Amino acid sequence: MRNIRKSFQGVQALKGVSLELKKGETLAVAGENGAGKSTLIKILGGALEADQGEIFLSGRQPTLRNPQAAQSAGISIIYQELNLIPELTVRENIFLGRERTRYGFVERNSELAAASSLFQRIGISLDPDAKCADLTIAQQQIVEIAKALSIDARIIVMDEPTAPLTQQEVDLLFKVIEELKSRNIGIIYISHRLEEIFQIADRVLTLCDGTLVDDSSTREITKESLIEKMVGRPIESEFPKRNAVLGKTRLRIESLSRKGFVEDISFSVRAGEVVGFAGLIGSGKTELTRLIFGADQYDSGSIFVDDKEVHISSPSDAISQGICLLTEDRKNQGLVLQRSVVENFGLPNLASFSNRGFLDRKQEQSTYQVYESDLKIKTSDPTQPIATLSGGNQQKVVLAKWLARDADIIIFNEPTRGIDVGAKYEIYLLINRLAEEGKAIILVSSELPEILGMCDRIFAMGQGRIKGEIDDTGKATQEQVLSIAVS
């Protein structure tokens, strides 16, 4: 890719970026949210057209006017945001647009066998006839990977493929990548998990504000120097320190249960405290947050806010009790993608911005601008559709709308998933600030370093139960947390 340029609504997303990928090479592309990584691969995948620049494959210049043309040219893209049709089965999604037919009829058995073979290569057991709507996010990501592998591609682009995966699934994916490399397939790998870049990539291309700032072998660059190039400044510590001053118990859960999901969950969170929940996919972490927030109904148990029992049967009940939730899946559960940035910010705060039943849009926008500045949300215009923002900036808008509620109990479910190291640090600082203001924080994360680095106490979950509690997080290890979770 040579001198690729692209602008959106007057904002220059790519400023003459060039990229070279060799056969059998894994090239990592690093950079903060909004650096231009996703725009670059969408141009390569035919989803966007560059304003300027050229693309060559094996010395030839193909026309990549749409994703089908890119696939025909041997380019397969696994996007960060899942692109499956929920009501279709796993098999139907994998072969969508490339159905195996005979005499005008789909050869279902042939597709089932091929899909099963793909999952065997990845090392995952998944029913090809399962509906994608019934799968977890991790399972949906596996389908995306199988879908990409089903195309006889010479280039495979992976945009945050491991974000929802367990460590075991990540290890299996890396084995698949090594297999693809041995067959001279070139891999472009985008990840905010810098440890992965140094584990799997041969080279790393670093972007900053749409500009190429570095192209180095992973053997010649350190994690610290890569961070500095990405954010333009050194970061002293990955997890900022905080002096926890604990106050009264803000939230107390007693024997909360929902059959088939969580069983007999009891814990408490004090003002100024950050309590972490860790566990493998399917452990019940997300299901627990949904029960506390009223998104799902619990069968038995009690919820207490400030030592007073409350009955929460809907999210509006939880919000009225000062509880807010940053959902695991911001795209489908945290945002209305068709609406503007400022409208998404205002949704849970309409009462604050209304006068005699009419919405005061000036007040809504002026309040939003305070949080836009505070959280460093990058937009060209707050009235633009929120779907046009990067994943990190979308997450910041979700944060902003809840901060405007001034809730006392804040549940963060995977708050830094798909977010770059610079934005992560800003969110960590924000979590610490909220705790220092006396908020009670619940942090649910699949990233164990994040749990260990940010939390005062940790609960390890497995099979819908709390398997153990760790009070001294300063001396705890990832192995200790996992061993408790799987015990």
Residue 454 confidence (pLDDT) above 90: yes
Query: Cβ distance 164 to 84 under 8 Å?
Result: no
Residue 152 confidence (pLDDT) above 80: no
Lowest pLDDT segment from 27-31, 422-426, 474-478: 422-426
pLDDT for res 354: 87
As separate numbers, helices (DSSP H) first and strands (DSSP E) second, the chain gives 16, 23
CA–CA dist 154, 294 (Å, integer): 47
> Homologous superfamily of 249-485 in CATH?
P-loop containing nucleotide triphosphate hydrolases (3.40.50.300)
Question: Beta 101-102 vs 75-78: how paired, if at all?
Answer: unpaired
3-state secondary structure of 142: helix
Write down the CATH number for the domain with range 2-231: 3.40.50.300
Query: Cβ distance 462 to 287 under 8 Å?
Result: no
The pair of structure tokens assigned to 396 is 């910041």
Q: Beta partners for 45?
A: none
pLDDT for res 6: 95
Task: Tell me the pLDDT band of 446, cut-offs 50, 70 and 90.
Answer: confident
Residue-wise pLDDT tens digits, 390-429 = 777 888 898 899 888 888 999 999 888 767 677 788 889 8
Mean pLDDT of 6-11: 82
Task: Tell me the pLDDT band of 234, cut-offs 50, 70 and 90.
Answer: low
Residue-wise pLDDT tens digits, 297-338 = 999 999 999 999 999 999 999 999 999 999 887 777 889 998
Residue 437 confidence (pLDDT) above 80: yes
Positive/negative CA dihedral, 106, 108, 109, 111: positive
Residue 236 confidence (pLDDT) above 70: no
Task: Tell me the pLDDT band of 483, cut-offs 50, 70 and 90.
Answer: confident
Mean pLDDT of 49-57: 95
Query: Cβ distance 164 to 392 under 8 Å?
Result: no
* DSSP calls for 406-454: T-SEEEEESTTTT--HHHHHHHHHHHHHHHHTT-EEEEE-S-HHHHHHH
Matching fold, domains 2-231 and 249-485: yes
Q: What is the mean pLDDT of the chain?
A: 89
Query: Cβ distance 364 to 355 under 8 Å?
Result: no
Nearest-CA neighbor of 301 among 265, 261, 249? 265
Task: Show the DSSP H helices in 321-410 as ranges.
Answer: 341-346, 361-375, 391-403
> Cα–chain-centroid distance for residue 215?
26
3-state secondary structure of 297: coil
Residue-wise pLDDT tens digits, 327-384 = 887 777 889 998 999 999 998 888 888 888 898 889 999 999 998 988 888 888 889 9
